[in-house]
Amino acid sequence: MADDPEEGMLSWDESVFRDEHVFEIDYVPETFAHRESEMRSLKYALRPAARGSRPLNVIARGPPGTGKTTAVQKVFGELGAQTDVRTVRVNCQVDSTRYSVFSRVFEGIFEYEPPSSGISFKKLFRQITEKLVEEDEVLVVALDDVNYLFYEGEASDTLYSLLRAHEAHSGAKIGVIVVSSDLNLDVIEDLDGRVQSVFRPEEVYFPVYDNEEIADILRERVERGFHEGVVSTEVLDEVAELTAESGDLRVGIDLLRRAGLNAEMRASRTVSIEDVEEAYEKSKYVHLSHSLQALSDSEIELLEVIARHDGERAGDVYDAFHEQTGLGYTRYSEIINKLDQLDIIDATYTNVEGRGRSRQLSLRYEPEAVLNRLEGN
């Protein structure tokens, strides 16, 4: 692929990027456009905390890549800078048990990790609440990707402990923001009755960005992340169109980064349409890659088996899984349900002649794409 000779070529120590971190998943933009009403709703709910009272609880819902995590990080940043309110964001994809959630809360309050063993949940919980009362501080905990707590059956116990903290230790003031990208999950309905009775959250919905909003957000990232002239209007329009098709802003941000790296591989000072098209073959699997990061060894093993037996009956897949791992049907069924909830597979019931109803398992992605990502390619 030849470049315009007048543009010259990148030398080994040059880059098309002004700031590559702009395209990382954890980047919090200075300008957070097109989420003004959602930000106002979050600030309204948390305003009592700034006055030393317990804030309103919140459910922030919406499809993946619609700005929920960024909104929480922005509000927490403002709250922490202007008040004495403690804020802790827990990534439930990583910390998916009650104990690990409270370990992250402990770390956020004491600024060091609790002992990895030898400390009971009861003691951990008491130390957190005693510290809050002693310092007369309000704590706001964001359970990001809370759907993972539901997948592991830990959501009700975790929320119960947070919401009832003031009963266990008089004077403890804790508010909760739950963030969910699983639109099939009814957070309230799926909680125990004991939690439903105390969890009356404000709901803040984050819709998919429209085409103009996507283009606007990506343009701002280009201006901050690339040197001037690297990404043309034509190339940016192509990225925005592919992003809109996916419905996930993270696809576009990842696509810009990969396209930039492709240009550098060619020693080009500009990103081409071909760089974008090549990068899209990987960027379109951003949601899949994100979901795979949270899987345990046995869950990964089953997914590998499904990828190699795509479309077969669940019983046949189980035989192959059991032969490989020695795990029983109960665990197998639990993993199937989780992979289905994560939208990695479809598990549908079909009628099989002579056998009654049976589940048929199929991947929502190309088997090769799943296997490549499991192998780290």
Q: How far is the C-alpha of 196 from the C-alpha of 188, rounded, in Å? A: 6
Q: How far is the C-alpha of 345 from the C-alpha of 338, rounded, in Å? A: 9
Q: 212-242 as b/e, with b when 16 or more CB fall inside 10 Å?
A: ebbbebbebbbebbbeeebbeeebbebbbeb
Residue 98 labeled ligand binder: no
Residue 221 labeled ligand binder: yes
Nearest C-alpha neighbor of 29 from the set 224, 286, 227, 209:
224
Task: Map residue 295 onto helix, strand or coil.
Answer: coil
Q: Are 315 and 354 in contact (CB under 8 A)?
A: no
Residue 348 labeled ligand binder: no
Residue 67 labeled ligand binder: yes
Q: Are 71 and 29 in contact (CB under 8 A)?
A: no
Residue 209 labeled ligand binder: yes
201 residue type, one letter: P
According to DSSP, residue 313 is labeled B
Residues 6+ apart with CB under 8 A from 207: 62, 66
Give burial (CB, 10 Å; 0-12/13-18/19+) of 274: middle
Q: Which parts are annotated binding residues for ATP?
A: 66-70, 209, 221
Q: Which parts are annotated binding residues?
A: 66-70, 209, 221
